Structure 1
Amino acid sequence: MNPMLVVDNLRAGYAGVPVVHGASLHVARGEIVSIIGANGAGKSTLVACLCGLVQPMSGRVMMDGRDVTAVPAHRRQASGIAVVLEGRHLFPELSVRDNLAIAEATGERQRRGHRRLTRDEVFELFPVVRERLASPVGLLSGGQQQMVAIARALLLQPDLLVLDELTTGLAPIVVKDILNVLTRLRDRGLSLLLVEQSIRIAADLSDRSYVMSVGRMVHEVGADDWPRLLADDALVKAYLHG
């Protein structure tokens, strides 16, 4: 297997204080991988390194064999990585159409000749986004905003989509719809990295998962390994606060 994303011995933090300690992981093309762990495990800091918002103290982020560790956030999409951050970071005063147009223009400019999904194909995945194009994003429900955030990321034409705390605060029916879309995206060859607290989502959706605790990757879990892991109450309580 030739991994598309490789995170190699990453150490990162804030004001000189490390939060992530030597984390390593990889994602293959067309694979869904999860990073799970309790609050404070270092997951969001790792995501910030992947999208260029935090520069690591040491270690590397490689995408398709290219070192992108020092690539700034506004150029990271050109490397094939798009991120839906926790909190979505949409422009609430702008319409859905305008939020999508900004991403579409960026994707066209930075990834010329690379088109994974057209706007119509994104609307097919998320019909409600098409229905609410004229609405200010700030007036949408939380679930609708999450769908807009994913649609916006897809219009950047990524090879890898990173989703940070995707399901937090969403109704179960919305979560089910979004997870179905993620499976369809994987079937189209898109790679996905889910950063989650939900053990169930990781177990049901992922090809592989990493368990993160206190800034370190403490376990790699294959799809067939979940029954053994979840049966270990001490492990679940120690690392997942289950």
Structure 2
Amino acid sequence: MLLEVEGLCVNYGHIEAIRDISFGVEEGTIATLIGANGAGKTTTMKTISGLRSVRAGRIVFQGKDITTLPPYERVKLGLSQSPEGRGIFPGMTVRENLDMGAYVRKDRGSRAYQEDVDRVFGLFPRLLERVGQIAGTMSGGEQQMLAIGRALMARPKLVLLDEPSMGLAPKLIQQIFSIIDEIKAQGTTVLLVEQNAAQALKRADTAHILETGSIVRSGTGAELAKDGSVKAAYLGGDL
């Protein structure tokens, strides 16, 4: 198991945001967390990446307990995130943003580094066209591409994608999900939080439904997509 979350509890002050959740992510797969707004999905992602502290439970990555590691140490181990709301550096160029994604790497200027830059531009040709453009002047879809590309520049074993389709036009949503499939095909494991449950379940090897801070259902993406209660709650009755 690449990632193991065991009995995780997270608070915001006295408010319990995550309550005793456990799940794993197998290497080479796409796992997804779905649920309504406020269910605890983004809190879970922030906690895995080290941006929220843990009240109880632990997080294990590649067999190593990372529960108390700072975020940059987790990135060094191979865990990076494209956050909710993109979180790009708006005053920097596209290329500068990508370089910031590789901040912890020591091999800038190497062949491997250039291969990763080329990989990002291969996934997102639009970024190559915009390589010298100030990131804050780009469209929302382009900024989302940049956020994912920046996360990939850390050469992660596991990339956390938090709401990658949020606010995008339908045509761009399909493009983003096709790219997520390609990221998996290239060997990077994906943990996906996504409001578009139909698209998430369609490609997820494993899926977990969060409600008010607890996991209430787990299974393969296909199993949950066919479940009547899941359809009614998250898919509008149809996948």
TM-score, normalised relative to structure 1:
0.90
Give the Cα–Cα distance (whole angstroms) in 1 for the partners of residues 79 and 104 of structure 2: 13
Please state if 1:163 is matched with 2:149: no
After the TM superposition, list the runs of 4 or more consecutive aligned residues in structure 1 that deviate by more than 2 angstroms.
104-109, 114-117
Moved more, 13-22 or 81-90: 13-22
Deviations 1:23-70 (A, max 9, x none): 111101110011000001011111110111111101011000000010
Give the Cα–Cα distance (whole angstroms) in 2 for the partners of residues 36 and 46 of structure 1: 11
Letter of the 1:232 partner, please give it: S
| Aligned pairs (5 A) from 1:54-203 | 54-108=52-106, 118-203=116-201
- Contact 1:11–1:56 (8 Å) recurs in 2: yes
Give the Cα–Cα distance (whole angstroms) in 1 for the partners of residues 65 and 55 of structure 2: 15
Kindly state the Cα deviation for residue 116 of structure 1 after the two structures are TM-superposed. 11
Change in 2 beyond 3 A, CA 1:38/1:116: farther
Aligned length: 235
Unpaired segments of 5 or more residues in structure 1?
none
Match of 2:49 in 1: 51
Deviations 1:144-165 (A, max 9, x none): 0000011100001100010111
Give the Cα–Cα distance (whole angstroms) in 1 for the partners of residues 113 and 69 of structure 2: 22
Change in 2 beyond 3 A, CA 1:175/1:227: closer
Deviations 1:204-234 (A, max 9, x none): 11111100001001000213313531x237x
SS of 2:38's partner is coil
- Contact 1:117–1:157 (8 Å) recurs in 2: no
Kindly state the Cα deviation for residue 118 of structure 1 after the two structures are TM-superposed. 1.5
SS of 2:155's partner is coil
SS of 1:35's partner is strand
Letter of the 1:198 partner, please give it: N
Kindly state the Cα deviation for residue 15 of structure 1 after the two structures are TM-superposed. 1.6
- Contact 1:163–1:194 (8 Å) recurs in 2: yes
SS of 2:164's partner is coil
Letter of the 2:55 partner, please give it: M
Deviations 1:107-159 (A, max 9, x none): 337xx9x8796211211111011110111001000000000011100001100
SS of 1:75's partner is helix
Letter of the 1:141 partner, please give it: S
TM-score, normalised relative to structure 2:
0.91
Give the Cα–Cα distance (whole angstroms) in 2 for the partners of residues 116 and 65 of structure 1: 30
- Contact 1:116–1:158 (8 Å) recurs in 2: no
